[in-house]
Amino acid sequence: MQVRLTEEEEHALSGHRGEALRLAMTIVVELGSLYGAERLIPVSQAHIDGCLYSAVGEAGADFATKLASLGARVAVPTTLNITARDILNWQEFRIPPEHSENSRRVEDAYLEMGCIPTWTCAPYQYGIVPRCGDNIAWAESNAICYANSVLGARTNRYGDLIDICCAVTGKAPEFGLHLKDNRMGEILVAFDVPVDAFDDDSLYSAAGYLAGEVAGSRVPVITGIPRCASPDNLKAFCAAAASSGPVGLLHILGLTPEAPALGTAFGGRTPREEVRVGLADLLAAAGRLDAAPAAPGGVNASSVVPDGANAESGKPGAVDLVVMGCPHASYMEVERVARLLWGRRVREGVEFWVLTSRTVAGLVSRSGLGAMLRDAGVRLCCDTCILQFPLEAWHVASIVTNSGKMAHYAPSMIGCRTYLRGTVACVDAALTGEVTWRGRQ
C-alpha cells in the first residue's frame, strides 16, 4: 500500500530538509505502508517511551543519539515517559553509577531534541493533556489506554522509537485507533459487583486486568464500574487492562466520553460477545495477581505453592517493600497515604516507596506533606519506576502494591513474591511488616 504524501512530506522523505527528518519520515511512512494507511495526519503532541534505557538498551541509545546528532528537533509538544533512574536522588536508591550514566546518555539525547522533561508515565495528569478527539502519538501502554479511553484523544499503541519519529515529523500514519470506525466496542464486559467492593481500590486494577484478559485485541465496552470512580481509579484500571492484554482503547459506560450510552459505544452494532463478571470472578483475577516468582527452570507462577498470605491458611505474609504509584501517583494519592499514616512511622526493616513525578513531588514538598512523609519513613522515588533499575542492593524478597500493573510485572522482573492489595492494606502492611489475606470476601 502506497501512502499518499503531501509535497512537504515528500520533501522531508527525500532528504531535502535534512537527514534527521528523512530518517524519521522514512520510518513513519514505512509503518503507514505496512498498516495500509492512505495518508499521514498531523498530531498535536507526542509522548515518548523510548527514553527508557533499561528497556531500549544500547539499540535504543544508538537510535536516539543518531537522531539527536543529526540535529533532529521535535515538531510538536513532546513529553517524556519515565527514565531508568531518579535523576536527582539515584544514589539514595542505590542505583549503580554505571546504570545511572547509561540512563543519562539517553535522557540527554531526548532533551537535545527538544522534549519536555516530564519523566512520568502519567503525563495525562501532570503533563500536556490532549483534548477529546485530538490525534496524538503516544507511547507507554497505560498512557495510551488512558488517553484514548478516558480523554477521548486518538492514538495507536505506538512503541518505543516510532514515538520520537512521529514527534520529529509531527505526523502519524492514519490507521487503527485514529479512525472512528475502529474505535467502536466489540465485546461487552458487564461487571455485576456490589459497588462497595470497590472501596478496596485495588479491585479497579483487578477489574481492568480481567477486562484486558477477556477482551484481548478487541475494544471492550465495560459496564458496572462505579460512577464515583476517580481519575486515579481509572488510571489503575487502564494500566492493568493494558498489561493483561493489548488494550489501547476501552469504553466504560457513563464514565468515558465515547460511551454515554451502550448504543453509542458499540456504534449502533450489537456486541458479538457478552461476558458477565461477578464478585467471585473479580476476586479470582485479584488472586492471579498475587504471584510468586518463577522457580528455577521456568515453572509458571500459578503452579508455585504460595508461601505467604492466602485465604486458605489465613496466615499473613511478610513484606519488605511497599510500593505505590504505578502508574505515577497523583497528588491526591500521595495525600491519601499521608493521611492514613498520620502520626505513625513505617515499621523498622520495611521500605515504603511512592513512585511519582518530580512535578507531584514539588507540590508535595510545597504543601508540607513532604516533610511529614519523610518523617514517617516514606521515600518519594521520582522520574522512574522500581522495575527500571537494579534492586539487588535492597534484597527485596516480597512486595505489596496497590497496582495491578506492578503486580503483573514485578514477579518476573524483580523475582519477588508479590501481593496486590488496596491502599489501606498497603499502608497497614508498611506499619506491621505483614500483608493480610483478603479477609472481607
Residues that bind another protein (CB under 8 A): 23, 26-27, 30-31, 34-35, 49-50, 52, 55-60, 62-63, 66, 139-141, 144, 156-163, 176, 212, 216-217, 242-246, 248, 288, 291-294, 297-302, 387, 408-409, 411-413
Work out how close the CB of 409 gets to another protein at its nearest, in angstroms, rounded to a whole number: 4
The residue count of the chain comes to 441
Q: Is the bond leading into 327 cis (omega within 30 degrees of zero)?
A: yes
Nearer CB in complex with another protein: 140/258: 140
3-state secondary structure of 285: helix
CA distances from 306 to 289, 313, 315, 414, 425 (A): 12, 10, 11, 17, 19
- For the record, the C-alpha cell of 385 comes out as 519506576
> Please, which residue, 6 or 302, has the CB nearer to another protein?
302
Give the C-alpha separation, 224 to 198, whole Å: 11
Round to whole Å and give the CA distance between 383 and 117.
9
Strand 46-48 relative to strand 137-138: parallel, antiparallel, unpaired? parallel
Least CB distance to another protein at residue 317 (A): 17
Least distance from C-beta 299 to another protein, angstroms? 8
> Could you tell me which of 317, 274, 275, 299 has the C-alpha nearest to residue 420?
317
Give 417 or 438: the residue with its C-beta nearer to another protein.
Answer: 417
Comparison of 336 and 417: residue with beta carbon closer to another protein: 417
DSSP string, 205-245: HHHHHHHHHHHTTSPEEEE---TT--HHHHHHHHHHHHHHS
State in angstroms the smallest separation of the CB of 56 from another protein.
Answer: 3
Which residue, 56 or 431, is less far from another protein as judged by CB?
56
Nearer to another protein, 113 or 350 (CB): 113
Shortest distance (Å) from residue 349 CB to another protein = 26
Q: How far is the CB of 434 from another protein (least distance, A)?
A: 23
Residue with smaller CB distance to another protein, 84 or 324? 84
Q: Say if residues 132 and 43 touch (Cβ distance below 8 Å).
A: no
Q: What minimum distance in Å lies between the beta carbon of 210 and another protein?
A: 13
